[in-house]
Amino acid sequence: MLRPSVLAFTFLAAGLAFASPAAAEEKFIIVQSTTSTQNAGLYDHLLPIYHEKTGVEVRVVAVGTGQAIKNAQNCDGDVLFVHAKPAEEKFVAEGYGVTRADVMYNDFVIVGPAADPAGVAGSKDVSGALERIKQAEAPFASRGDDSGTHKAELALWQASGIDPTADSGGWYRETGSGMGATLNSAVGMGAYALTDRASWIAFGNKGSFGIAVEGDQRLFNQYGVILVSPENCPNVKAELGQQFIDWLLSDAGQSAIADFKQHGQQLFFPNAKTS
Amino acid sequence: MQDFGAAFGQAFALILSGDADLLEIIGLSLRVTFSAVALACLVGLPLGAALAVGRFPGRMAAVTVVNALMGLPPVVVGLGVYLMLSSAGPLGVLQLLYTPSAMIIAQAILVAPIITALTRQVVEDLHGEYDELLRAMGARRLATIATLLWDARYSLMTTALAGLGRALGEVGAIIIVGGNINHVTRVMTTTIALETSKGNLSLALGLGIILVGLALLVNGLVMGLRSSAARLAYA
Amino acid sequence: MHDGLQRQAVPQAAAAPRAATGIWPLELHDVSFAAGGKALTDRLSLRLRPGTRTVVMGPNGAGKSLLLRLIAGLIQPTGGTITLGGRPADAAARRRIALVFQRPVVLRRSVAANLRHALAVYGVPRGERARRIDALLALGQLEALAGRPARVLSGGEQQRLSLVRALAAEPELLLLDEPTASLDPQATAAIEALIGQAAAAGVKIVLVTHDRGQAQRLADEVLFLHRGALAEHSSADAFFNKPSSAAAQAYLEGRLLL
């Protein structure tokens, strides 16, 4: 017959067996990333190539750009890979990062329902389109989460002289969640939304939605990479992190990015300045 | 609705394919969940029993607090554990953030109040029956607690199952402290969250169906074990 | 005779090592117990000595069960004192006292495991337990049921288990609270036989019962309680043949004591 102590020991042993670190003593780095690159599937394409070449495992934590920067400020990552240039430059200027380098770009698009209640489909003028959405009080789903896309969206409204947050809760709806969740909400509500093109192409729940506005210069979306400062964060794996950054910016890395396609379309365009 | 049909199709296709990634994710889900519940039981069973048997000032307040903690929001727990384990936090040196251990800690914190509160209730009921006998026998406090825990063991299995249910379906805490890193901290629930955000709704739902099936399987196994063992001790 | 019962009725003075925890005489001095503003036991004084079988009788509500619980230390008097061997009761002295309830409380384990649990609580070394369990099973004629879950046993079997479990403590005083109240005659006979064996081995018996026949079969002396007070304390012979108190007279004649 089992005694309580035996039972307790069994639980404990089981717990420890489960909890013991299973991961091999493999070399790895942690990349704090925006969600669009992960949702589009870029890492599933790039990381196996990199691992094959170097044996280093890259662990990606994909959160909004705002949160990724905060996590990196807390030293919870070795490399920051996001898309909000002003915030990234501030990150470096404040000593949290070493240097910032352009990696690649794509563009933002405004997607909307086939019914097009604001009549903006086919437009190349972002400001005009936003103006008409406000006039029509057509629903617009915003990320509202301090992400790179959210920052870009707010900048576009500002450039158009509109303060949409005054109508928050009316036609302007801040979801406070990630790109995918916001697109799901937009499709559900029949609302327009700003998204990066890669996320849109990879998105699987488009419904009747299509791209309404694209091609404006101001819709440019630059991705940058930064090594978290080992001076600020002694635990940062500076050498391994820098090695990954160097590879991303190298000819090999840049062409790997260019090779990545979904539904036959290239999603990210390499534009590193070195090499 | 066609999504549901597609979801069941996806679920069966995934199971039949024996997809290696899926098996890895299921394995990690089970490992994290069982470890967290085991840890929570180590703390919650004795603590709940002590609350049931003990007579000390503030006991009612302690019971109320534990009962209230059953409703701890996972995101808050995730955030708290993140702040503790972050490199900038007090336990940063352990370098546990973004590992399964961090997920186990967060879930153990979520589950421990459930185990404690339900154990308190179960043991208190049994204590009402055994109290005079054990006191007449001169059993000390620790022996009393051990006796009650052992004799309540089949009811306590249901308690553990309640904790298991909470842990297995939980996403808010573990996605913050685990980071949903592919092949490292990606489990069923975080995969479902990710696929939902990618708009792959039928795949997400299919994974959800597999998760429910997994919960059914675990519950069925434990209840089967319980009833066959309980027949030996009860009428 | 089984080892649980082999202790002799050793005179107090001869039992030198045990003298420190000797519980005789067991005395109640003006013991009162009140609950909810109502006195359930009122200034009760009595002295119990080893070697005799004491039966406690009295109408419902007279405070019989309360008396056993006070002696066993399960409840504390609200007035007066209880002394064991001239000293206030302590844990060591209480260990010499065992209590059997009217409704048997058995653990959710096998019969043998119930006994093993009791032996562990009583501090019997691990190595001795198996032998003691066998002896206790034989004493209670429970050998065939050793592996059965205790809670599936009949009421009589459960009470036999409770009784031998109490004897596992090797008590000097065995308190029994209407142990056969809900049992059939065969089961009652088995319990009475066990009580007789324990008494013969030197265990002091204090038995509460409503059953006059049982009292006559077992009692050396009778305590008669009425309204929380001791109405009569006399030999069995005297009590049943010429009770001195009016209350006891009325009770024995089957009249309601109002």
First to last CA, chain B: 48
The predicted pLDDT at position B84 comes to 96
Are A103 and A257 within 8 A, CB to CB? yes
Q: State whether A208 and A73 are in the same domain.
A: no
Both A114 and A98 in one domain: the answer is: no
Q: Which of C174, A268, A22 lies closest to B185 in space, CA to CA? A: A22
Report yes or no: A20 and B101 within 8 Å, Cβ to Cβ.
no
From chain A, the residues in CB contact with C113 under 8 A are: 1
Rounded Cα distance, A20 and B174, in Å: 18
Residue C5 lies in a domain: no
User: Dihedral of CA C121/C126/C132/C136: which sign?
Assistant: positive
Same domain, A133 and A214: yes
Chain A CB within 8 Å of residue C113 CB: yes
Q: Please spell the DSSP secondary structure of B186-228, one letter per residue.
A: --HHHHHHHHHHTT-HHHHHHHHHHHHHHHHHHHHHHHHHHHH
Residues C102 and C180: their CA atoms lie apart, in Å, by 7
Rounded to a whole number, what is the distance in Å from the CA of B112 to chain C's nearest CA?
26
Contact C224, C24 (CB under 8 A): no
In the block, which residue shows the tokens 């998105």? A203
Q: A101 and chain B: CB distance < 8 Å anywhere?
A: no
Contact yes or no for C107 and B232 at CB 8 A: no
pLDDT tens, position by position, A143-191: 998 889 999 999 999 999 999 999 998 999 999 888 999 999 999 999 9
Indicate if C133 and C96 belong to the same structural domain.
Answer: no
Chain mean position to CA C126: 27
Asked whether residue B75 is domain-assigned, the answer is yes
Rg (CA), chain C: 18
Cβ A178–B197 below 8 Å, yes or no?
yes
Query: What is the C-alpha separation between B109 and B176, in angstroms, rounded?
Result: 14
Shared-domain flag, residues A126 and A197: yes
Are A45 and A94 part of one and the same domain? yes
Q: What is the mean pLDDT of chain A?
A: 90
Domain that holds residue A74: 27-106+222-270
Q: Is B38 on the interface with A (CB under 8 A)?
A: yes
**What span, in angstroms and rounded, lies between the C-alpha atoms of B206 and A111?**
27
Residue A2 lies in a domain: no
Residue B232: its pLDDT value, please?
65
What is d(CA B28, CA B181) in angstroms, rounded to the nearest whole number?
12
| Contact indicator for A131, A162 with CB cutoff of 8 Å | yes
Number of domains in chain B: 1
The sign of the dihedral angle between the CA atoms of B103, B105, B106, B109 is positive
Are the C-beta atoms of residues A56 and A39 closer than 8 Å to each other? Answer: no
CA C23 to chain centre: 15
User: Is residue A228 within 8 Å of A78, Cβ to Cβ?
Assistant: yes
Report residue A18 as tokens: 């489960």
Residue C200 to chain B, least CA–CA distance (Å)? 23
Task: Give the H or E element holding residue C123.
Answer: none
Q: Please report, for the domain that includes residue B143, its CATH number.
A: 1.10.3720.10
- Report if residue A58 sits inside a domain: yes
| H/E segment holding residue C205 | strand C204-208
Pair of tokens at residue A14: 């089981």
Record the tokens describing residue C157, joined without a space. Answer: 């079997």
In a domain, B10, yes or no: no
Instruction: State the total domains in chain A.
Output: 2
Whole-angstrom Cα distance, residue A40 to residue A50? 18
Paired tokens of C5: 């019962």
Q: Which residue does chain B place closest to A73, by CA atoms? A: B88
Report the pLDDT value the prediction gives residue C1, as an integer from 0 to 100.
41
Chain B positions touching A5 (Cβ under 8 A) are 146
The share of chain B scoring above pLDDT 70, in percent, equals 97
Output the domain CATH number for residue C196.
Answer: 3.40.50.300
What is the rounded CA–CA span in Å between residue B44 and residue A65?
39
Prediction ipTM score: 0.87
| Total of domains in chain C | 2
> Rounded CA gap, A40 and A257, in Å?
12
Residue C12 lies in a domain: no
B101 and A CB contact within 8 Å: yes
Residue B211 maps to a domain: no
Best of B198, B201, B202, B203 to substitute, by most chain A Cβ atoms within 10 angstroms, is: B198
**Whether residue A127 sits in one domain with residue A98:** no
Same domain for A212 and A244, yes or no, is: no
Which other chains touch chain A, taking contact as 3+ CB pairs less than 8 Å apart?
B, C
C94 contacts C73 by C-beta, under 8 angstroms: yes
For residue B89, the chain A residues in CB contact (below 8 A) are 74
Neighbours of C52 (CB within 10 A): 16
Asked whether residue B162 is domain-assigned, the answer is: yes
Q: Which domain holds residue C243?
A: 17-106+170-252
A–B CB contacts, 8 A cutoff, strictly below? 106
* Residue finishing a domain among C95, C122, C152: C152
Q: Which residues of B touch C99 (CB under 8 A)?
A: 136
Chains that touch C (3 or more CB pairs under 8 A): A, B
Q: Is C118 on the interface with B (CB under 8 A)?
A: yes
- With residues binned 3-state (H G I as helix, E B as strand, rest as coil), the percentages for chain C, rounded to 5, are 40, 25, 35
Residue A33 lies in a domain: yes
pLDDT recorded at residue C18: 40
Please tell me whether residues A40 and A127 are part of one structural domain: no
Instruction: Please identify, among A179, A202, A219, the residue that sits at the C-terminal boundary of a domain.
Output: A219
> Does the beta-carbon distance from A75 to B98 stay under 8 Å?
no
Count of CB atoms within 10 A of residue C65's CB? 17
Do C120 and C245 belong together in one domain?
Answer: no
- Min Cα distance A168 → chain B (Å) is 23
Q: Which chains touch B (3 or more CB pairs under 8 A)?
A: A, C
Taking residue C212's Cβ as centre, other Cβ atoms within 10 Å add up to: 14
CB C63 within 8 A of CB C32: no
Q: By the CB < 8 Å criterion, does C252 face chain A?
A: no
Q: What is the pLDDT of residue C144?
A: 97
Residues of C in contact with A1 (CB under 8 A): 109-110, 113
Can you give the pLDDT at residue A273?
85
Q: What is the C-alpha to C-alpha distance for residues A42 and A34, in angstroms, rounded to an integer?
A: 11
Q: Which residues in chain C show pLDDT less than 50?
A: 1-20
pLDDT at B213: 94
CB contacts of B233 in chain C (<8 Å) are: 108-110, 149, 151
Q: Which residues of C touch B132 (CB under 8 A)?
A: 69, 74, 101, 105
Close Cβ partners of A158 (under 8 Å, ≥ 6 residues apart) = none
Residue B230 corresponds to which tokens in the numbers above?
Answer: 């309980």
Nearest to A79 by CA among A135, A142, A30: A30
Residue C159 counted as domain residue: no
Mapped onto helix, strand or coil, the DSSP state of residue C230 is: strand
Q: What residue type is B78 in one-letter code? A: G
The answer to whether residue A10 scores a pLDDT higher than 70 is no
The CATH number covering residue A201 comes to 3.40.190.10
d(CA B9, CA B26): 19
- Within a domain: B3: no
Shared domain check, C188 and C97 = yes
Asked if C151 and B147 come within 8 Å (Cβ–Cβ), the reply is no
Three-state DSSP state, C31: strand
Report if residue A9 sits inside a domain.
Answer: no
**Could you report how far apart the first and last alpha carbons of chain C are, in Å?**
46
* H helical segments located in chain B: 2-17, 20-53, 59-69, 74-85, 100-137, 141-151, 153-168, 172-178, 188-197, 201-230
SS (H, E, C) chain A: CCCHHHHHHHHHHHHHHHHCCCCCCCCEEEEEECHHHHHHCHHHHHHHHHHHHHCCEEEEEECCHHHHHHHHHCCCCCEEEECCHHHHHHHHHCCCEEEEEEEEEEEEEEEECCCCCCCCCCECCHHHHHHHHHHHCCCEEECCCCCHHHHHHHHHHHHCCCCHHHHECCCEEECCCCHHHHHHHHHHHCCEEEEEHHHHHHCCCCCCCEEEECCCHHHEEEEEEEEECCCCCCCCCHHHHHHHHHHHHCHHHHHHHHHCEECCEECCEECCCCC
One domain for residues C85 and C21? yes
User: Does C145 lie at the interface with B, CB-CB under 8 angstroms?
Assistant: no
| Chain C, window 192-251: residues with a beta carbon less than 8 angstroms from a chain B beta carbon | none
pLDDT in tens, chain B (235 residues): 457 888 888 888 888 888 888 999 999 999 999 999 999 999 999 999 999 999 899 999 999 999 999 999 999 999 999 999 999 999 998 999 999 999 999 999 999 999 999 999 999 999 999 999 999 999 999 999 999 999 999 999 999 999 999 999 999 999 999 999 999 999 999 999 999 988 888 889 999 999 999 999 999 998 888 887 777 655 4
Q: Is residue C181 part of a domain?
A: yes
Using CB atoms, pick whichever of B130, B138, B232 lies closest to residue C91: B138
Classify each residue of B121-151 as buried b or exposed e, where b means 16 or more C-beta atoms within 10 Å of its C-beta: bbbbebbeebebbbbbbbbeeeebbbbbbbb
Residue of B nearest to A20 (CA): B101
C160 within domain boundaries: no
Establish if C109 touches chain A: CB-CB under 8 angstroms: yes
Q: In a mutagenesis test of the C interface, which of A1, A2, A3, A7 is the best target, namely the one with the most C β-carbons within 10 Å?
A: A1
| Torsion from C-alpha of B51, B52, B56, B59, nearest 10 degrees | 60
Residues whose CB is less than 8 angstroms from the CB of residue C40 and which lie 6 or more positions away in sequence, other chains included: C33, C34, C63, C66, C228
Smallest CA–CA distance, residue C112 to chain A, in Å, is 10
Alpha helices by DSSP H, chain C: 64-72, 91-94, 111-121, 126-139, 155-167, 185-200, 212-218, 236-241, 246-252
Other C-beta atoms closer than 10 Å to the C-beta of B12 total 13
The pLDDT assigned to C13 comes to 32
Task: Quote the pLDDT of residue C105.
Answer: 95
Report whether pLDDT(A23) > 60. Answer: no
Would you call C74 an interface residue with chain B, using a CB distance cutoff of 8 Å?
A: yes
A215 and A111 share one domain? yes
pLDDT digits (tens, 9 = 90+) for A33-88: 999 899 899 999 999 999 999 999 999 999 989 999 999 999 999 999 999 999 99
Q: Is residue B128 part of a domain?
A: yes
Question: Which pLDDT score, from 0 to 100, does residue A274 have?
Answer: 59
Chain B: residue whose CA lies nearest to A67 = B176
Q: Does C119 share its domain with C186? A: no
A17 located within any domain? no
Contacts of B151 in chain C (CB under 8 A): 107-109
C25 and C98 share one domain: yes
- Residues of chain B with Cβ-Cβ distance to C107 below 8 Å are 130, 147, 151
Report yes or no: B148 at the A interface, CB cutoff 8 Å.
Answer: no
Whether residue A187 is contained in a domain is answered as: yes
Q: Are residues A100 and A226 in the same domain?
A: yes
Same domain? C126 vs C94:
no
Residues from chain A contacting residue C109 (CB–CB below 8 Å): 1
Q: Is B137 close to C94, i.e. CB distance below 8 A?
A: no
Out of B45, B98, B194, closest to residue A30 by CB = B98
Q: Is A14 part of a structural domain of the chain?
A: no
Q: Smallest Cα–Cα separation from A152: which of A82, A103, A204?
A: A82
Token pair listed for B135:
């006191």
Q: How many C-beta atoms surround the C-beta of residue A170 within 10 A? A: 11
Q: Residue B208: inside a domain, yes or no?
A: no
Q: Using a CB–CB cutoff of 8 Å, tell me whether C110 touches chain A.
A: yes
Query: In this complex, do B182 and A76 lie within 8 Å of one another by their Cβ atoms?
Result: no
Domain that holds residue B160: 19-189
Is there a single domain that holds both residue A115 and residue A173? yes
pLDDT at C12: 35
The structure tokens listed for A241 are: 């992190």
Same domain, residue pair C61 and C177: yes
